[in-house]
Amino acid sequence: MTEQQKIQLLMDRAEISEVIYNYATGVDQKDEKLFRSIWADEITVDGVGGSFGESRPATLSADKWASIIIRRISKFAVTQHTLTNPKIEVDGDKAKCVVYMQARHFIQGWKPGDSIYDMGGYYTHNLIRTAQGWRIKSYCLHVLWHINPPAA
């Protein structure tokens, strides 16, 4: 690998990390514009059954997905998504990023002593390089555990 290729790989990994971390920031701040900005125009999502009742992969517009997620997450007063240990593989204009996830969800009106919906697992993101930078084309949420899930 040439020096220029090494530099490009480092730049790609840094940009991909920022895209992935903007997932958490967009959700936790309920910022639909920021959340939408990380996705390709048409995406495939899978594995959100642990948190939202979806049970199979779905392909939809990123605009619709951003609206759905921000609407669903807005039923919580506060959330905090922590994403760690990104494992990024870049192959030309495609990339894969697996990242650990833990998320805390505080219901509206939460007070000390009330239950907190906690979950953990990992995301698998498949990204593509676009004219606007790296964007998520598909992803899967793998929920490994959750405590105190909210009533449907």
pLDDT of 104 > 80? The answer is yes
Q: Give Cα 134 to chain centroid, integer Å.
A: 14
Query: Residue 57: which pLDDT band, with cuts at 50, 70 and 90?
Result: confident
Mean pLDDT of 75-98: 97
Q: Does residue 51 have a pLDDT over 80?
A: no
Residue 48 has pLDDT above 80, yes or no: no
52 vs 147, residue with greater confidence: 147
Report the predicted TM-score, pTM, of the whole model to 2 decimal places: 0.91
Structural domains of the chain in order of their starting residue, each with its CATH number: 3-147 (3.10.450.50)
pLDDT in tens, 3-34: 999 999 999 999 999 999 999 999 999 999 99
Burial class (CB in 10 A: 0-12, 13-18, 19+), 61: middle
Residues 131-147: pLDDT tens digits? 999 999 999 999 999 99
Q: Which of 53 and 128 is assigned the larger pLDDT?
A: 128
Per-residue pLDDT averaged across 121-131, rounded? 97
Name the residue among 110, 117, 115 with its Cα closest to residue 77.
Answer: 110
Q: Return the bridge partners of 125, or none.
A: 97, 139
Instruction: Answer yes or no: are the C-beta atoms of 80 and 104 closer than 8 Å.
Output: yes
| 8 Å CB contact between 140 and 124 | yes
Identify the CA nearest to 123 among candidates 30, 32, 23: 23
Whose tokens are 């790296």? That residue is 134
**Which three-class secondary structure state does DSSP give residue 48?**
coil
Give the whole-angstrom CA distance, residue 37 versus residue 23: 9
